[in-house]
Structure 1
Amino acid sequence: MFFTKLGRVIAWLLVILGGFRAVLAFAIATTDQTMGPRYLGSSSTGHAIDMSLLCVLIGVAVGMMAEISRSVAAKTEAIKQELK
């Protein structure tokens, strides 16, 4: 159960931070692209957008795995209670 909870926390962090970085990169891309290396840490805003959306997708995948793990654990617990 520890890894399920840890997976949920990591998933939320990846989604929130990746989304924030994507929004920041889009904002910089529409204003002044020379600020990109300073605030995003990457050579271009396009690269920052790609990496941040990848983080969001990885966060969604980790979140789905954590939800599957939680569902399987709940079913296993229900079966254990039924057998008693």
Structure 2
Amino acid sequence: MFFTKSALVIAWLLVILGGLQVVVAYNIDPDLAPRYFAGKTPGQAIDRGALYCLIGIAAGMVAEISKSVASRGEAKSRREAD
């Protein structure tokens, strides 16, 4: 269960930080972008932010599947104990 909870935290962080990077990249002056995005253009920052969001969504789906499988296994073991 530790890995499921940590995967959910990581997924949320990726989605939030990726979304924040996309929003900042859309709203920043292109001349200032290399200062804030480690030498990258706003377009590259948007691509990277969108990728982080998608990876976060995928990690969240895997964590939810893990949670579902774990709860199903616990319910099955309770039925067998009764």
2:25 matched residue in structure 1: 25
| 1:60 alignment counterpart | 57
User: Which consecutive segments of 4 or more residues in structure 1 shift more than 3 A?
Assistant: none
Q: Work out which of the residue numbers 26, 38, 42 in structure 2 matches 1:41.
A: 38
Distance 2:55 2:64 in 1: 14
Which segments of 5 or more consecutive residues in structure 1 lack a partner in the other structure?
Answer: none
Partner of 2:74: 77
Q: Provide TM-score, normalisation by structure 2.
A: 0.95
Segments of structure 2 that go 5 or more residues without pairing to the other structure are none
CA-atom RMSD, angstroms?
0.7
SS of 2:79's equivalent in the other structure is helix
Greater shift, 66-75 or 42-51, is seen at 42-51
TM-score (norm 1): 0.93
The structure that is helix-richer by fraction is: 1
